[in-house]
Amino acid sequence: MSPWHIQCLKTPLTAVPAGDWFCPDCSITTNGDGVNLLVLGLLMGMRRPRKDRLSWVTRDYFMSHSRDSGLFDDNILEFQKKIVERSGIGEHSYFPGDILASPPRLTMKEARAEAEMVMFGALDELFEKSRVRPKDIRILV
């Protein structure tokens, strides 16, 4: 099984490129299209993140910030609002600082850092609660 491009879903990659390589069709830009997917993807993973580098805000503040950024049209903002309301994010929640920056820093580099923070935070919590040492794990599925 080959890895696929993240957004464009064109032909599978035959190898993972070295370094910070991005397909021109998959690159995140500020046209409000791919950026919205990046933002929503981050929101879905932010239920129990580490609290460092994150900001505590209301959903209304987040939506206002998204609207004021000028990156999204009305259709995207409406879709984003539905996702925020239905994803289990509380009335007050932590959001990535990069998203709340003015202007928002919506790059793959920031997205990766936030994803790592959320995933590693969840794993740290799991290891602590289960008293399993990471070096004792041989295969991760």
Domain ranges of the chain: 34-136
pLDDT in tens, 60-84: 888 999 899 888 899 999 998 898 8
How would residue 14 be classed by pLDDT, with cut points 50, 70 and 90? low
To the question of pTM greater than 0.85 for the whole model, the response is no
CA distance 62 to 99: 9
Distances 125 to 32, 44, 47, 95, 120 between C-alpha atoms, Å: 34, 19, 14, 19, 8
**Residues in Cβ contact with 69 at an 8 Å cutoff, skipping those fewer than 6 apart:** 102, 103, 104
> In DSSP terms, which residues pair with 92 in a beta bridge?
58
